[in-house]
Structure 1
Amino acid sequence: MTLADDLSAEGEPEQEFNPGIAGRLPRKRVAGGALIRDDAGRILFVVPGYKPFLDIPGGIADADESPLAACRREIREEIGLDLVVNRLLVVDWIPAHGVWPDGMMFIFDGGQLSSEQAAALTPTDDELTGLRFLAYEDAVPLLRPSMARRVETALQALGEGQPRYAEFGRSQ
């Protein structure tokens, strides 16, 4: 079944009980990222050219794109790999901050790369100036505090084999 098949099976959309309400409902930004490791257990971080902090591979979902599809697309765009990414590690709510509205961030398990795959990686997106494999402890000073907490939560979820919910990186 495809998404189009599923939408068709849903039938006609519900009518608005109060005309115009759908357009007034809040919108959230949604992003999907991946926790990708090398065979030494270090985490892959991307070096964006547009901000002073490291990030994990991934990015904001386009309209009508799922967080998982966004994660897979961004990995292909950023590092040129078509990884099998499915397992959810973290759902993290992020509050509004500055010009950015609140949002939902999803981290998926990107798996472990062989030493050959890791050594061959290069950025394939002009927005990135580099890639770095780092132990979590070494990465913390190079991450926004909320991202450090989110990655730590993802590592906990990976070890536990259970997804976790967090708010601004703080696991509940």
Structure 2
Amino acid sequence: MSDAAETLLSVRDLSVAFHQGGETSLAVDRVSFDIRKGEVVALVGESGSGKSVSANSILRLLPYPSASHPSGEILFKGKDLLKASDKALREVRGNDITMIFQEPMTSLNPLHTIEKQIAEILELHQGVTGQAARKRILELLNQVGIREPEKRLKAYPHELSGGQRQRVMIAMALANRPEL
């Protein structure tokens, strides 16, 4: 198998600019990296160096149109995500590529139980509901090491420790068995 066939994600010469009040700030300047199937890649840098901006660019999660990409391409299995339609991007998000955000308390909805939040992903992306969803949620919570997952299903995020909330975020990211 060639390197190109094994490459899931190829970021090439990616630049990210933010526009505000007639000013433009370049936050990322020509970053390039590849991620191959089964590979772990870390974006390492000082605070404010563009790690999160680069990662959020992959799924176009930046505040567009104030954010833009003056250069570069983000190829997922050969298709440029920067040029993908909103519909195509929705298919990729959560199905093929997922992200685990650093602070789960700002990503989890405080008004909904853990079960409801994971179930929503399963229903939206796979059409799985009811007992089948509950079974998959329990599998996911077990997989990420949450003890007594049956007791955690009805918990709200504030009722879990920080580590448990992070594990819930990981379970949500794994729910659709993404490639990346």
TM-score grouping bracket, smaller chain normalisation: under 0.3
Query: Whose RCO is larger (CA < 8 A, sep 6+)?
Result: 1
Q: TM-score, normalised by structure 2?
A: 0.22
TM-score normalised over the length of structure 1: 0.22
Structure having the larger proportion of residues in helix:
2
